[in-house]
Amino acid sequence: MPQEKNIDQREEGIEVPYDQINPDTLRRMIQEFVTRDGADWAEVGCTLEDKVEQILQQLKNKKIKVVFDLSSQTANLVVCPHA
């Protein structure tokens, strides 16, 4: 019986240094990321801007990174494996 191949479902992409992305574009990308689940950040005691700043700090601390997915031609924020 042939062995089935293990299909890797992770994004196949390249890391994009966040500091090489236009600051306005990066900010909009982060805003889209943090609002995906429809959360109202005021309900949890912070603003959208607070959340954006938290994500920017995580990028600076290399806890997350920007990855451009070659398959879907989209960029996403992902947790760094060593974080």
Q: Where are the domains of the chain?
A: 13-79
pLDDT reported for residue 41: 64
Distance of CA 9 to the CA centre of its chain: 17
Cβ neighbours of residue 16 closer than 8 Å, sequence gap 6 or more: 66, 67, 68, 75
Tell me the CATH number of domain 13-79, given options 1.10.10.610, 3.20.20.70, 3.40.50.300, 3.40.47.10: 1.10.10.610
pLDDT reported for residue 40: 67
- For helices 48-60 and 23-34, the axis angle rounded to 10 degrees is 110
What is the average pLDDT across 63-67? Answer: 95
pLDDT reported for residue 7: 40
Dump pLDDT digits (tens) for 17-54.
Answer: 999 999 999 999 999 998 887 766 666 778 889 999 99
* pTM of this structure: 0.74
pLDDT reported for residue 6: 39
Place of tokens 């959340």: 51
